[in-house]
């Protein structure tokens, strides 16, 4: 299967990497050339790390890289399945998917990696609504094993099954979810971030202590470390979306501390500063 991944940010490059490692031909598209260069460097770094850990050999790296094409021309994205991993804005997703529909037609599968926008809403304005499905990876995509496959109201059952087959082909654990706000994992995990921020806002303790306690409880990362990894602005965008989708239920309320970080441009690892400082 030939896969087109739209958006070469941290999530997009991870999806491209695991797809290529599984033997799929992949076109990784981004309008920003520098983002594509960073993505290529990041993927090669991940592959080298996998070799160091004994999880990949040199031949596997060579084959993976041979399966990858980097492009800032959307015309190159003529594929069997599109997976978009761009900004969490319905208008932008709709525009990009409409452009891809003109290139690919009605037989391509159009998957969204959205964390919070209803798939039914994405499909409603799309030329081929039966071909829309959700394939929701978790960050970092090349490490996290779980992937949610979400069916919109309009999704053809055959498309849903093909999406599941794709997820299984990249050696991920596939779970099927209904099209509900936050699906399953983000709905549960939202409070991991929101409550951590609330504790910080109430000056109960520092974000470092919160992260230390969470790790001591068995989690690999605390909420503030994870927000920095995902992107503080991305995490906030998902929270804002879910807050609205749940009719402004206060348990999903975005936090002012996080909002200020975003306003300052402190997005986490990608910007060199978030809740922690990083060497760029």
Active site residues: 115, 136, 148, 186
Alpha-carbon separation of residue 112 from 197, 272, 279 (angstroms): 28, 28, 32
Structure tokens at 154: 């309009």
Query: Cα–chain-centroid distance for residue 185?
Result: 13
Residues 250 and 190: their CA atoms lie apart, in Å, by 12
Residues 115 and 118: their CA atoms lie apart, in Å, by 9
Query: Cα–chain-centroid distance for residue 70?
Result: 18
Taken in order 11, 266, 94, 157, the sign of the CA dihedral is: positive
Beta partners for residue 268, in sequence order:
273
Nearest CA-CA partner of 36 in 62, 7, 11? 7
């Amino acid at each position: 299967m030939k896969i087109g991944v739209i958006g070469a940010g941290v999530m997009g490059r991870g999806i491209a990497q695991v797809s290529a490692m599984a033997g799929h031909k992949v076109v990784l598209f981004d309008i920003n050339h520098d983002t594509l260069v960073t993505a290529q460097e990041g993927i090669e770094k991940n592959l080298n790390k996998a070799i160091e850990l004994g999880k990949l050999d040199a031949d596997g790296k060579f084959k993976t890289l041979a399966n990858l094409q980097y492009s800032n021309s959307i015309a190159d994205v003529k594929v069997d399945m599109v997976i978009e991993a761009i900004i969490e804005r319905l208008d932008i997703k709709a525009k990009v998917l409409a452009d891809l529909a003109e290139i690919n037609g009605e037989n391509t599968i159009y998957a969204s990696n959205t964390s919070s926008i209803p798939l039914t809403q994405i499909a409603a304005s799309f030329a081929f609504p039966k071909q829309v499905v959700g394939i929701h990876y978790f960050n970092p995509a090349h490490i996290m094993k779980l992937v949610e496959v979400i069916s919109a109201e309009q999704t053809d059952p055959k498309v849903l099954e093909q999406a599941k087959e794709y997820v299984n082909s990249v050696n991920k654990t596939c779970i099927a979810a209904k099209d509900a706000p936050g699906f399953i994992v983000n709905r549960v995990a939202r409070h991991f971030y929101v409550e951590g921020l609330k504790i910080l806002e109430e000056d109960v303790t520092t974000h470092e202590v919160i992260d230390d306690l969470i790790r001591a409880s068995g989690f690999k990362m605390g909420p503030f470390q994870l927000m920095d990894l995902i992107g503080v602005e991305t995490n906030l965008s998902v929270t804002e979306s879910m807050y609205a989708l749940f009719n402004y239920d206060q348990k999903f309320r975005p936090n002012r501390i996080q909002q200020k970080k975003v306003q300052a441009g402190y997005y986490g690892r990608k910007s060199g500063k978030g809740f922690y400082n990083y060497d760029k």
